[in-house]
A and B are shown apart, each in its own frame.
Chain A
Amino acid sequence: MSQRMSAFSFFVGAKSDALPKGPGRKKWFRQAGPISLAFLGAAALLSFGANLWVPQDPTYQDLLYRLVPPFEIGEGVSYLLGTDQLGRDVFSRLVHGGKVSFAVGLATATLAMLIGGFLGLIAAYFRGWQEAVILRVVDIQTAFPFLIVAIAIVSIVGAGVNTIIFTLVIWLWTPFARLAHAKSLSVKESEFYRAAISSGRSGFGLVFQHIVPNITGAMMVVWTFVVAQTIIAESSMSYLGLGVPLSTPTWGSMLSEGRNYLETAWWIATFPAVAIMLTVLCVNVFGDWLSDRLDPQTKEI
């Protein structure tokens, strides 16, 4: 039981003084992880619940109020972050646009973790040809620029949230497989694993009770970094016009529309850019914090 990491100990059991207390390491710095997580949670909730509270329909066009600068109160209408070239409210679009980023990020990373983790476990458990094939595919995919393949697939299959998730998953399972494989092999070397085998455990019970709990921490760390990578990939694809259809607001497509108005209306591109950066930064900071606690050895995969 001590080897198992429950969801409870995962969040609560992590000791707050796990970081080395070097001189100059401020208290707030140690709290950067939880603060980032709280921020992300709030942002995700506000985005997913956008329909309930956002002042305007994100696709509503009001051509009388085109390119209104931010923080200006108009006659009867106020646009917190201004309006774009079609008179749509930038703030409402920003909040709604978060839905796609968060949904794609979370769904892709989670699916990729399940698939990659499963394949990595298979490779490490059976060794043999399974390992050879899986690791070979991982090697080849890691070296190849996945964004190019992703763009190609989206252009063929057609744009949409599901297509993007599917495309990113078939590319981003590799870091999880590599990590699950490496970590599982080191678990198999351990005393308790041999003890479990000699006491007659085998098959699923062995894998799920003794290997899986011991690789979960490292997998969670990689999961956060893959979320960050996915959000960047999705916004890049939307920017190129190869992401979600334009009728759905996304941060990437807002940026590509705003690019043409940089000189006259800086706010159209700036606010989604800030949103992407802030989100990815928080995910990265949280991942860094998590890795200090759960998995100090694994620096890089």
Chain B
Amino acid sequence: MLRVLGSRALQLILVVLGISTLLFFLVRVSGDPALAVAGSEATTEDIEIIRESLGLNRSIFEQYFAFLIKLATLNFGDSYIYLQPSMPLILEALPSTLYLSFVAFALAMLVAIPAGIFAAVKRRNASGRFILSMSMLGQSIPPFIIGIFMILVFSVWLQWLPSFGNEQPTSIIMPAIALSAVLMARHTRLVRAYFIEEMNRGYVRTGKSLGFNNRRIRFKHILRNISVPMLSLIGIDLGKFVGGAVIIEAVFAWPGIGSLMVNAVKARDYPMLEAGVFTVAVMVVLVNLIVDLLYQFVDPRLRAKVN
């Protein structure tokens, strides 16, 4: 248990340090950040003042050291757009991103697991093939396209659902569906593939010869056995999932950290961007930690090893 926690803590430090360092040097290599901040109408004196206030007149090592201190104290500086400390703004937007991600993830799993099992059991029938084809189609549509066309159908034509924001309780429906679609399609295929593989195992044959009914074999035995590899894939996919959330938030003007970050990128608001990237990194590592802990819950063999 402590080892898992320790290795995840190390991973967190490496992720944050690696990505922040990459961004830090790219900002410096790609041109003078002071020019970007000042805009095209600034005079030479203005730019000098900005350079001074951003600490850009010091050596690159001093700058990097100051940057590391900022990182360690979680003080990323004031946002250029909002003229407030950037970290609290990100934290304020975090719950709404978590809400959207959680609903979309739950939706994806609630559909993918039964659909995958069905497609595996009926793999030789038209119905099983149909699900497989649909999941291939679902994987081929970028989430933002699903979002746009849901807006067209349900907001513009039918006027059933609001097309942006999160003021109404129904606002979550379209962003959640659009965000979950890719994960849903992918995991339907994966559940199906793993399920078919397990159906050929010896324990399934043994179960059948002992007279267990199909339901018991499928849901008690096979499902438990595929949950371990599925869990590790879910851990990997959650990273991509957060990336998808950024786009979906932009499409639906959902007030989460994704929208904040896209605006920050457009305005070259680096403090905001750094705070956002940092927060996402922490979230991803925490989710992976939860997945690690779930392993032991799902697989008694791992529990026995740890104790």
Within 8 Å CB of A154, what residues of B? Answer: 265
Within 8 Å CB of B139, what residues of A? Answer: 284
Contact present for B236 and A143 (CB under 8 Å): yes
B47 within 8 A of A: no
Within 8 Å CB of B149, what residues of A? Answer: 273
CA–CA, A146 and B19, complex, Å: 11
Contact present for A255 and B23 (CB under 8 Å): no
Chain A, interface size: which category?
Answer: 35 or more
A140's partner among B18, B26, B194, B280 (CB-CB below 8 A) is B18
Within 8 Å CB of B239, what residues of A? Answer: 142-146
Contact present for B243 and A146 (CB under 8 Å): yes
Contact present for A152 and B273 (CB under 8 Å): yes
Contact present for A228 and B15 (CB under 8 Å): no
CA–CA, A235 and B143, complex, Å: 11
Chain B residue at smallest Cβ distance from A156: B26
The interface bits of chain B over 124-157 (1 if a CB of A lies within 8 angstroms of the residue's CB, else 0) are 1110010000001101111011001101100010
Contact present for A142 and B136 (CB under 8 Å): no
Contact present for A22 and B250 (CB under 8 Å): no
Chain B, interface size: which category?
Answer: 35 or more
A196 within 8 A of B: no
**A80 → B minimal CB distance (Å):** 22
Contact present for A155 and B268 (CB under 8 Å): yes
Within 8 Å CB of A146, what residues of B? Answer: 239-240, 243
CA–CA, A212 and B214, complex, Å: 44
Contact present for B145 and A273 (CB under 8 Å): yes
CA–CA, A138 and B139, complex, Å: 24
Known contacts being A236-B144, A255-B145, is A148 close to B18, with CB within 8 Å?
Answer: no
Contact present for B262 and A151 (CB under 8 Å): yes
Known contacts being A273-B148, A288-B136, is A147 close to B247, with CB within 8 Å?
Answer: yes
Contact present for A281 and B137 (CB under 8 Å): yes
Known contacts being A144-B19, A240-B247, is A23 close to B145, with CB within 8 Å?
Answer: no
Known contacts being A152-B277, A239-B144, A242-B265, is A284 close to B136, with CB within 8 Å?
Answer: yes
Within 8 Å CB of A136, what residues of B? Answer: 14
CA–CA, A281 and B148, complex, Å: 19
A259 within 8 A of B: yes
CA–CA, A281 and B236, complex, Å: 23
Chain B residue at smallest Cβ distance from A147: B243
CA–CA, A230 and B48, complex, Å: 41
Contact present for B124 and A23 (CB under 8 Å): yes
Residues 209-247 of A contacting B (Cβ, < 8 Å): 228, 232, 235-236, 239-242
Residues 252-301 of A contacting B (Cβ, < 8 Å): 255, 259, 262-263, 266, 269, 273, 276-277, 280-281, 283-285, 288, 299-300
Chain A residue at smallest Cβ distance from B285: A143
The interface bits of chain B over 264-284 (1 if a CB of A lies within 8 angstroms of the residue's CB, else 0) are 011010000100110011001
Within 8 Å CB of A52, what residues of B? Answer: none
Contact present for B142 and A276 (CB under 8 Å): yes
A18 within 8 A of B: no
Chain A residue at smallest Cβ distance from B25: A156
Chain A residue at smallest Cβ distance from B152: A262
A38 within 8 A of B: no
Residues 255-307 of B contacting A (Cβ, < 8 Å): 261-262, 265-266, 268, 273, 276-277, 280-281, 284-285, 288
A87 within 8 A of B: no
A263's partner among B144, B156, B235, B236 (CB-CB below 8 A) is B156
**B281 → A minimal CB distance (Å):** 7
CA–CA, A153 and B24, complex, Å: 10
Within 8 Å CB of A22, what residues of B? Answer: 124
B168 within 8 A of A: no
Contact present for A155 and B250 (CB under 8 Å): no
Contact present for A255 and B26 (CB under 8 Å): no
The 9 A-B residue pairs with the shortest CB-CB distance, nearest first, are A145-B243, A147-B243, A281-B140, A155-B265, A280-B140, A145-B242, A232-B142, A157-B30, A156-B26
Q: Report B's interface with A, CB cutoff 8 A.
A: 11, 14-15, 18-19, 22-23, 26-27, 30, 124-126, 129, 136-137, 139-142, 144-145, 148-149, 151-152, 156, 190, 193-194, 233, 235-236, 238-244, 246-247, 250-251, 261-262, 265-266, 268, 273, 276-277, 280-281, 284-285, 288
- Contacts A143-B235, A149-B19, A262-B152 known; 4 new A-B pairs at CB < 8 A: A22-B124, A145-B240, A228-B140, A255-B145
21 example contacts (A-B, Cβ-Cβ < 8 A) are as follows A24-B126, A136-B14, A140-B11, A142-B239, A143-B11, A144-B239, A145-B280, A146-B243, A147-B246, A148-B261, A148-B277, A151-B246, A155-B266, A157-B30, A236-B144, A239-B247, A255-B148, A259-B148, A262-B152, A284-B140, A285-B136
